[in-house]
């Protein structure tokens, strides 16, 4: 199968591309600059020069592919609504050329759209927190879920805040760097906030299942475990040989800035639907706690 991937040099997208190549698929990846192009060439992936703002490039690439996997997203926190509007335009470009083909279009979303989920794990029917600043991306999810009506096998994979492994991702390195700067791994108040997590290898496996399962369509949560923010902070503390410490909400707002909203709420999901319908079995390469203390994050500190 010829697969076009946006974000093929990113944290999740690069692992997806690696696994697809391992199964004999041919991969083309969007390359926005020389460095991205070199990185893709080095992995045997055909680079397509352009970026998310190039609709003609996106349409041509989607038209030539047997499937599209869209993992790229602009993560600038200062212009989130602009990033979501761009994402919506990208999906519209893909839909324009994929309609009536029944080709797979797999789109990435985030559990951030849910906001505060409470103490129970949210399923795919869980209502969005209307106070979530990420609500607009939830509307993009709904756009994608309507695409089967025009003959596209559309899938949304909703990743948790904490996708971890290989010493990478966004939130864990942020927390580790904050702990280094403060000389303590801080959590907010009691630290009882619970968040979902998944290893990047397990997440990539689910993308492949969504691609290769001909009946797969709709929304799937992607979560393999939940962890409290206190437990996560204390694991970081043990890794860095510093203390884990509770701080007030006021101090946390100052320290974490715009990341505060993600670190101060319960944001957890159940993936029973993916397990049931796609036969997804997370292999638990490490728990997130073990990977911080003894795995890829500890190794990345050396």
Tell whether the model's pLDDT for residue 192 goes beyond 80. yes
Tell whether the model's pLDDT for residue 75 goes beyond 80. no
pLDDT for the residue 76:
56
Contact 186, 233 (CB under 8 A): yes
Tell whether the model's pLDDT for residue 285 goes beyond 80. no
Tell whether the model's pLDDT for residue 236 goes beyond 80. yes
Indicate the pLDDT class of residue 78, thresholds 50, 70 and 90. low
The C-alpha torsion from 286 through 281 and 69 to 194, rounded to 10°, is -60
Q: Which two tokens stand for residue 129?
A: 């927190």
The C-alpha torsion from 229 through 230 and 235 to 237, rounded to 10°, is 120
Q: Is 113 left (phi over 0), alpha (psi -120 to 50) or beta?
A: alpha
Maximal CA-CA distance, the chain: 57
| Chain-centroid distance, C-alpha 285 | 17
Indicate the pLDDT class of residue 135, thresholds 50, 70 and 90. confident
Domains of the chain: 2-163+198-223+269-284 (3.40.50.720)
Tell whether the model's pLDDT for residue 92 goes beyond 70. yes
Q: Could you give phi then psi for residue 245, rounded to 5 degrees?
A: -145, 140
In percent, the amount of the chain with pLDDT more than 90 equals: 89
Tell whether the model's pLDDT for residue 77 goes beyond 90. no
Indicate the pLDDT class of residue 284, thresholds 50, 70 and 90. low
Q: Could you give phi then psi for residue 108, rounded to 5 degrees?
A: -95, 135
Indicate the pLDDT class of residue 262, thresholds 50, 70 and 90. very high
Instruction: Residue 92: name the closest of 34, 126, 40, 139 by CA.
Output: 139
Mean predicted confidence (pLDDT) in 264-277: 97
Beta carbons within 8 Å of 174's beta carbon, 6+ residues apart: 259
Determine the length of the chain.
Answer: 302
Instruction: List, for residues 8-52, the tens digit of each pLDDT value.
Output: 999 999 999 999 999 999 999 999 999 999 999 999 999 999 999
* Cα–Cα distance list, 279 to 21, 67, 123, 205, 282 (Å): 21, 21, 17, 11, 10
Structural Rg of the chain based on CA atoms: 19
Cβ burial, residue 267 (10 Å; 0-12/13-18/19+):
buried
Instruction: Residue 163: name the closest of 152, 171, 175 by CA.
Output: 171
Cβ burial, residue 35 (10 Å; 0-12/13-18/19+):
exposed
Mean predicted confidence (pLDDT) in 106-130: 93
Contact 157, 110 (CB under 8 A): no
Contact 211, 106 (CB under 8 A): yes
Q: Please, what is the average pLDDT of the chain?
A: 94
Give SS3 for 122: strand
In percent, the amount of the chain with pLDDT more than 70 equals: 98
Q: Could you give phi then psi for residue 284, rounded to 5 degrees?
A: 50, 60
Whole-angstrom Cα distance, residue 21 to residue 159? Answer: 22
Which residues make beta-bridge pairs with 109? 158
Indicate the pLDDT class of residue 302, thresholds 50, 70 and 90. low
Tell whether the model's pLDDT for residue 134 goes beyond 90. no
């Amino acid at each position: 199968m010829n697969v076009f991937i946006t974000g093929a040099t990113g944290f999740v997208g690069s692992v997806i591309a690696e696994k697809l190549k391992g199964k004999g698929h041919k991969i083309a990846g969007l390359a926005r600059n020389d460095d991205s192009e070199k990185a893709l060439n080095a992995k045997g992936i055909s680079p397509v020069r352009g970026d998310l703002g190039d609709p003609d490039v996106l349409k041509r690439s989607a038209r030539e592919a047997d499937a599209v996997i869209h993992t790229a997203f602009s993560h600038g926190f200062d212009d989130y609504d602009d990033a979501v509007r761009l994402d919506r335009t990208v999906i519209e470009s893909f839909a324009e050329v994929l309609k009536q083909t029944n080709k797979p279009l797999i789109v990435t979303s985030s559990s951030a759209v849910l906001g505060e989920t409470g103490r129970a794990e949210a399923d795919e029917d869980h209502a969005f927190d209307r106070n979530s600043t990420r609500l607009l991306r939830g509307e993009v999810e709904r756009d994608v879920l309507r695409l089967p009506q025009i003959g596209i096998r559309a899938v949304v994979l909703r990743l948790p805040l904490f996708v971890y492994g290989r010493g990478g991702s966004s939130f864990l390195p942020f927390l580790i760097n904050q702990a280094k700067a403060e000389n303590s791994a801080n959590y907010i108040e009691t630290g009882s906030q619970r968040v979902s997590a998944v290893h990047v290898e397990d997440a990539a496996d689910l993308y492949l299942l969504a691609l290769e399962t001909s009946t797969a369509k709709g929304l799937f949560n992607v979560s393999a475990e939940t962890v409290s923010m206190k437990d996560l902070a204390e694991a970081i503390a043990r890794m860095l040989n510093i203390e884990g410490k509770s701080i007030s909400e006021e101090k946390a707002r100052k320290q974490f800035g715009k990341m505060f909203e993600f670190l101060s709420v319960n944001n957890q999901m159940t993936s029973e639907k993916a397990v049931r319908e796609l036969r997804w079995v997370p292999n638990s390469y490490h728990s997130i706690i073990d990977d911080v203390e003894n795995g890829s994050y500890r190794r990345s500190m050396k």
